[in-house]
Structure 1
Amino acid sequence: MNVNEIELSKVDGISLMDGLQYCGSLRDFEKFLESFYDDIEDNATTIEDAYQNKNIELFTIKVHALKTSARMIGAKELSEEAYLLESAGKSANMPYIDANVDSFLSLYRSYISRLDSYMSEKRRIKAIKKPITKDELEDAYNALREVCPSRDYSAVEMILEELSTYQLPDEDQKQMALFKTHFHKLEWEEMEQTLMG
């Protein structure tokens, strides 16, 4: 076990072994975990709003997606609860949803604090990077502009992976953070608009 694996094995509510089984490698597992962590508050709010607005179709779609992402990081209890809510949503079983949605959202949001120290340390280490040159940055933007229209997921992922090894200027960091948010949700048109900014 390397240092990352040891630290991850200490996170409550995550099975590193299950995660590695689904993701195939520690690197992919960590990518899924970071994406999962970054999306918690937005996703939880979307699920909550969909429930309160009685938009059970959206509610069901979102808990289905969460069921899968929770399973990918080995969050078994969360994944199982999402599955039960998804089934309830599909059969319009509102009494079950009413009785369980609050505890489910509370469990989901608890992963912010469960993962906080691990993610903070990981990002602190990642923050010690060499600054990117103007030319390198322009090359990365041009490459993204080239691959986004064809919706080439792997190519975008590779470019973002390369960019993550550099220290970006503040403005570009914000732009890339927004771009990544759209990327995680596969919002291709919004991704292209971000690159025009």
Structure 2
Amino acid sequence: MNINKIELSKVDGISLMDGLKYCGSLKDFDKFLESFYNDIDYNASILEDSYSKGDISLFTIKVHALKTSARMIGAKELSSEALALEMAGKSYNTDYINANLDELLTLLRSYKGKLENYISEKQRLKAEKKPISDDELDQAFDALREVCPSMDYGAVEMILDELNTYQIPKSHKSQIDEITNHFHRLEWDEIDKILMV
């Protein structure tokens, strides 16, 4: 798939140059960007839930992760706000969190709109890919079942990258999307559960 560098540079709220600096290549930056987009609702929800339940430890871990992923895509303001909330979480400064969490969540959710056109174009290009055969799909799932228990990051990434070059049938698309999302969060147990179905 061709990644349009010009279109990426026009996305509001991200720095292409920072993204390339942190990710190392346009391809990796593009993958981080799509992963970030797919995780927006999940991240916003878990930040809200963990803080509302008084789980400051989990909140601090998740806002730290958001700070890092925002930095990876060059979302400077979002990363900076997440850092401030991470520091507040570490010192149990709930007054600061109460005063600033809504602003962070609003900014985070705004990226759904900012990235929508770019992600939609990516999805359109994916739809033009050749369909994967049943045998190729079975082989890919068998390979994932083989390498996931050992948490072989490189092997799983290679398999998912290969699957990404094909058009996946709807019956398996959501499975692969779930595996990809859990993979980016390093949630190996969740991947194993999907592969056992």
Please indicate the TM-score interval, normalised by the length of the shorter structure.
over 0.9
Shift of 1:42: 0.6
Q: Which residue of 2 aligns with 1:61?
A: 61
Q: In structure 1, how many angstroms separate the alpha carbons of the residues matched to 2:55 and 2:172?
A: 36
Q: Residue in 1 aligned with 2:26?
A: 26
C-alpha distance in structure 1 between counterparts of 2:13 and 2:190, whole Å:
33
d(CA) in 2 for partners of 1:190, 1:65: 18
Q: Distance in 2 between matches of 1:98 and 1:189?
A: 33
Cα displacement string for residues 32-84 of structure 1 (whole angstroms, at most 9, x for unaligned residues): 00100000001100001111111111111000000000000000000000000
- Identity percentage of aligned residues: 65
Which residue does 1:192 correspond to in 2?
192
Please list, as runs of the form range in 1=range in 2, the aligned pairs for 1:7-156 lying within 5 A after superposition.
7-156=7-156
Offset of 1:181 from its aligned partner? 2.4
Which residue type is aligned with residue 44 of structure 1? A
Could you tell me the TM-score, scaled by structure 2's length?
A: 0.96
Q: Where do 4+ consecutive residues of structure 1 move more than 2 Å?
A: none
Instruction: Tell me: CA distance 1:179–1:19, structure 2 relative to 1, closer, same or farther (3 Å).
Output: same
Quick one: which amino acid aligns to residue 184 of structure 1? H
Unpaired stretches in structure 2, ≥5 consecutive residues: none
Whether the 8 Å contact between 2:140 and 2:159 is mirrored in structure 1 is yes
RMSD across aligned C-alpha pairs, in angstroms?
Answer: 1.1
State the alpha-carbon separation in 1 of the partners of residues 179 and 144 from structure 2. Answer: 10
Q: In the alignment, does 2:38 pair up with 1:5? A: no
TM-score normalised by structure 1 residue count: 0.96
